[in-house]
Amino acid sequence: MAKDKEKEEALKLQIGQEQIVHMKVAAQIIQHLSKGIYSNPANCIKELISNSFDADASEVIVRAKPEFDTFSITDDGDGMNYVDFSTKFLWISRSDKRDKRENTLKFKRPIIGKIGIGFISVSEICDKMTVISSKRGENFKFQAEIDFEKFKKTVHQKKDFYEISQVKLTNLEEEKNSHYTIILLSGLSKDFKDLLEDKDIHEAGIKIATFEGRKFEGIIEEIEKKYLDSSKDIGGYWRLVLDVANTVPVPYLKEGPIKVKNPNWFKQESKSISNLKNTIHKLKFLVDFDGIIIKKPILLPGEKDIFDKKESYDLYYFEEEFNDFPDGSKLKFRGYIYNQERQIFPPHLRGIIIRIKNTSIGGSDPDFLSYPYAEKLFLPWVFGEIYIDEGLEEAMNINRSSFIITHPHFRKLKNYLHTKLHAEVFPRCRERYTERKEETEVTEKKSREENIKVYLKDVFNKNFQIKPLDKTGKFPVDIDIEKKEVLVFKGHPIFKKKKKKEKDLLEEVLILFETSYHNANGDLSKLKDYFINSLSEWTNLKK
């Protein structure tokens, strides 16, 4: 056995005396970790909040203070001592949280942590991390200071393990009933500080929404009311708040995720979604982000005219279990799909969210796991969540934000989702699209005819009727002043191979020409003047 692998550093209970140990990481992931594995800072924060969840914390307090170059996360969980810290958290990618159990002791929560990269994940957004923790039932605490500088400069070598960061740890006295963990990030990266302060946006002179002093429910209401796009209208700080809220196992809004005006519209589906919602509520996990108790920012439908009509949206609830995998494993999941008659606003409520152990993997995917069919027009009309009760974990990439697309569990889930959308959801979308298109065409046709009649009334002081004819005529349009009729010969060659809008526009121009022709009485100069004037008047009438 290699010496590096054999080397184990032991911490001792020495009150008030500083000790030096090192964080360690398995060689196979050092390259990934040193370059950064998260595209979104919310995923780094998610890993730390997940640790609080696994520690049976009932409340997590997050404080973002870029002006002081700090970001802190405090929880009231079971805490840990210097031994736990040394054996579980100083070894990256060697998590043993589930070696003895799958659920937490107090709240019986499904344990999230498995890969063991929670602490190291924040190296992407800061240079140093301080951990202070006191374990339930013990009369001491420890304070550990971790410097990521060496880790960020690590060069790959042929070693089984690396000592990647120096950790200064001190044990101190503490009240016996104290139990907590405090994580303080300092030396925040410039990009992370700029995001928290919306520096780039302010420098560009772009005006963004602000929600200072509002409760979380009020923030979501404001986003809905003003059709705000979280990707550009609310800035980096509030986007981070929403991303964290949508990622960690916090409760739903009181009316969320789907509000239904009449309980009888989707009675069974609403009941099933309510049961899912209660499952999350029973986890008893709250996160306070800068004084705001965050919740899952999901509340559909967001537009009143859709909310008021059952015909405007649909709900599909499902529970599935597959146990036909060659390795004997099982994939079990439940969830819902919501779709409505047009694009969903705000845009962050489009796509599918996959949650493992109640935690989002990668956020909302607007492409629905690379949906393959030619119905992508309807994707922005749809939102859904899938909760994985068993399986799929082995399909997660190390960043816990994406999947190995060749894994059998992921392929099974993807095929199920695509079939569900293709066979059940999108046929209804197509019906709505056709119905709305036909209604729009009828409305536009009626409006056009009314405008034409008003125009002819002004010119001839008579009430005309528009008579479309499928046959052809000598001219494509003819005006019979005596009969007070406008004859439109739809079969005339001039209308052939034209799109509908082109035909409508051509018909309008020809009616104007015929009107000018009748008024000119054979005078070409007058015909030209009348026609130009009629075009101008017609344009004004249509505004």
CA distance 209 to 197: 13
Residue 481 burial (CB count, 10 A): 12
Q: What is the pLDDT of residue 93?
A: 56
Helix (H) or strand (E) holding 52: helix 41-54
Is the pLDDT confidence value at 370 over 60? yes
HSE, side-chain direction, 13 A CA sphere, residue 505 = 6
CA distance 116 to 91: 8
Q: Residue 96: pLDDT band by 50, 70, 90 thresholds? A: low
Q: What is the pLDDT of residue 535?
A: 87
Q: Tell me: domain 3-188, CATH 3.40.50.2300, correct?
A: no
Q: Residue 5: pLDDT band by 50, 70, 90 thresholds? A: very low
Q: Identify whether the C-beta of residue 27 lies closer than 8 Å to the C-beta of residue 160.
A: yes
Percent of the chain surpassing pLDDT 90:
63
Instruction: For the sheet with 465-469, list strands across it.
Output: 465-469, 485-489, 477-480
**Span 411-440, average pLDDT:** 94
Q: What is the 3-state secondary structure (H, E, C) of 334-362?
A: EEEEEEECCCCCCHHHCEEEEEECCEECC
Residue 274 burial (CB count, 10 A): 12
Q: What is the pLDDT of residue 35?
A: 54
Is the pLDDT confidence value at 24 over 80? no
Q: Residue 542: pLDDT band by 50, 70, 90 thresholds? A: low
Q: Identify whether the C-beta of residue 360 lies closer than 8 Å to the C-beta of residue 251.
A: no
Cis peptide before 468 (omega within 30 of 0): no
Is the pLDDT confidence value at 409 over 90? yes
Q: What is the pLDDT of residue 3?
A: 46
Q: What is the pLDDT of residue 92?
A: 63
Q: Residue 27: pLDDT band by 50, 70, 90 thresholds? A: low
Question: Can you name the residues that pair with 131 across neighbouring β-strands?
Answer: 144, 183
Q: Residue 1: pLDDT band by 50, 70, 90 thresholds? A: very low
Q: What is the pLDDT of residues 163-174, one digit of tens each?
A: 667 899 999 999
Domain ranges of the chain: 3-188, 235-434, 464-542
